[in-house]
Structure 1
Amino acid sequence: MEFSFTMFTPHRTRGGKKDDPLVAVKPNGRIVFNKKAAELLGNHYFCMLGYDSENQALGIMPVAEQESNAFPVRYAAKGAYIGAKRFFRHFGILPEQVVENAPFRHGQYIGMKF
C-alpha cells in the first residue's frame, strides 16, 4: 500500500512575530505600541510628539512630568497607547487607514516612519 500525503499549509498566517516591536497609527488618532515597543517608553506616563515632514517620521519623546503640550501615555496588558488626534490634525497627517512600522531610536526620541 502506497500513500501520497499532502502537507497542510495555511492560506494566511497571523501577524508578524510578537517579539518584534511595532507601533501603529490608527485613523482615530491613537498611537499604539505593542508590548515590546512599549518597553521603549521606559514606564514614562507622558510624552512630547514631533513630526519631521521632510522624512515623514513621527518623533515620540518620553518625559517624566506632565507639561502643557505633553500627551498622556496609557498602559494596558498588551502594550500602550497615546491619544493624539489633535496632534495629527494640527499637521494634517491623520491617516485614513492603520499605518504600522517598526520603531527606531534617534537620540531621546522613539521614531517611526509614517
Structure 2
Amino acid sequence: MADPCVLVGRAGGDPDRQALLERWLELTRTRLPALATQHGWPIQLDHCFMRVCLDVSLGARWDSVVPRPAIRTLSTAQLAKAIAQAEAIIADPASLPDLNRASLRMRHKA
C-alpha cells in the first residue's frame, strides 16, 4: 500500500485526515495483528482487520458503501468510525470473533 502521506496529498492534504490515516494504518497493520496470536483470533492479516472494522462501522459490506480503494474514498467521518471500531476491539479483544462473523455474514460467507 502506498505511503499515507502520498494518499493524503491526493485528497487535498488535510492534516487532520493525514493523522487519521496514520492512526488507521498503525491500528490495522501493527496493533491488531500483534494481538492476533495472543488472543487466538481467527484472523491475523491487516486487510482482514480492515475488512472487519470497515464492515462493522459502516453496517454493510464496506465496498457496497464506498468505492475502492477505501483508504482514498472514505469520508473523514467514516474513517473516524472505523478507527473507533479498531480501538474498541483492542479494548475488548473477546469481541473480535463475533465481529468477524458479522462481517462475513455481510459478505454471505458465514
Q: Same fold (TM over 0.5)?
A: no
Determine which structure has the larger helix proportion and give its number.
2
TM-score (norm. length: structure 2): 0.28
For the pair shown, which has the larger CA radius of gyration, 1 or 2? Answer: 1
TM-score (norm. length: structure 1): 0.28
